[in-house]
Amino acid sequence: MKHTILLAGSGNIGRRHLQALSALNRRLDLIVIEPGSSAREASAALLAPFSDHITLRAQDDWADLPPSVDLAIVATSAAPRRKVLESLLSATRPNFVLLEKVLFTTRRDLDECEDMLSGLGIPAAINCGRRGFHDYDRLRDELGTRRGLSMNVVGSDWNICSNGIHFLDLATHLFAEMPVSVSEAELEPEPVPSRHVGCVEFFGSLVAQMSGGGTIKLTSLRSPGVPLAIEVTHHNEKWTVEEAKGRVTYEVDGEEQYSRPFEAMMVSRMEHLYTEILDNRQSRLPSYQTSAAHHRLFIDAIRRRLGMQISEDMPCPIS
C-alpha cells in the first residue's frame, strides 16, 4: 500500500519530519508545499537516497493536489499557521492532520480552527513529541495511581515561551491530569528577543496548578551552565530526568534508590508516531482539544506579563 503525505513547511522542523518519514521503509508519495526554493532543494537532497520507495513533489503553491491525502503535516511557524491550514483544507481533504506548536497565538484561532476541523470530521494532533519517548511511558507506569504529583522543570535559557507547552503536555501525559491555571507572576518583568523574528522570550518561572492538586513550575534561568532537568515529586519521592545525560534517578527521603538509562528521542527517530497515524488514524500525541486547552492558559499568561489586554485577544508574540 502506498500512502500520500503532504508537508506544509520544509524548514528545519519540516525536514525533521521528512527524516522520520524516510526511515519508515514504506512506499510514500510526498508532497511538500514550501515557498522557499532553497528549502525545497534541501528537501529534495534529503530524500534523494530514498527514491526507490519515496516519490517527492515539491512546489510553492497549493495547485493540483489530490482530492485527499492520508496525512497532512503543518510545520510552519505559528503566525501563518491558520492561513496555511485554511489553504490546506481548501485544496485537499486529509485523513489526519499533525500540527506543530506553538499551535496558534490567539484564542479566536484556537477556537475557530478547532471548530473547522471538527466540522469536517478530521482528527488532529499536536506534535508534543515527548509522548513518543518510551522511557516517559515507563515513568508514567511507575507513577501509577499517585495523585497530587508535581513537576519542576529547570535549566539555563531553554526558551520557555517556545517550549513551555511541551512540559504542560508532559505533565498531562504522566499524571493523567490537566492544568487548570497558569501564573506569570514569577516571570522576570522584561522580555528578551526570541530567535524568532518579532517574538519574545522570558527568564523566570511559569507556575501551573494541576487538577489533582499538584503544581508544575517551569523555570528558565538567566545564568548559564545549568542543564535542563525534569523533577517529578510526590511526598517524599522524587524522580529526576536528565535528558541530555540520558538518565533518570529515583530518590526516597533524599536517598537514591536507583539510576537507569533514559533515551531522549528526536522527531527524526520516532517513526512510530507516523505509522500509528497511517495505520490506525490515531495518535499518542495530544489531541487538538487537549493541546488547545494548554495553549489558552499558556498564551494568556504570557500576554498578561506583556501587559496585553486579554479581552482584546491580540496575537501573543511567541512561536
Phi-psi region of 281 (alpha: psi -120 to 50; beta: other; left: phi over 0): left
- Phi, psi (degrees; rounded to nearest 5) at 264: -90, 125
- List of domains in the chain: 3-129+269-312 (3.40.50.720), 133-264 (3.30.360.10)
- Model pTM score: 0.96
- Note the maximum CA span of the chain: 63
Residue by residue, pLDDT tens for the chain (319 residues) are: 899 999 999 999 999 999 999 999 899 999 999 999 999 999 999 999 999 999 999 999 999 999 999 999 999 999 999 999 999 999 999 999 999 999 999 999 999 999 999 999 999 999 999 999 999 999 999 999 999 999 999 999 999 999 999 999 999 999 999 999 999 999 999 999 999 899 999 999 999 999 999 999 999 999 999 999 999 999 999 999 999 999 999 999 999 999 999 999 988 789 999 999 999 999 999 999 999 999 999 999 999 999 999 999 999 999 9
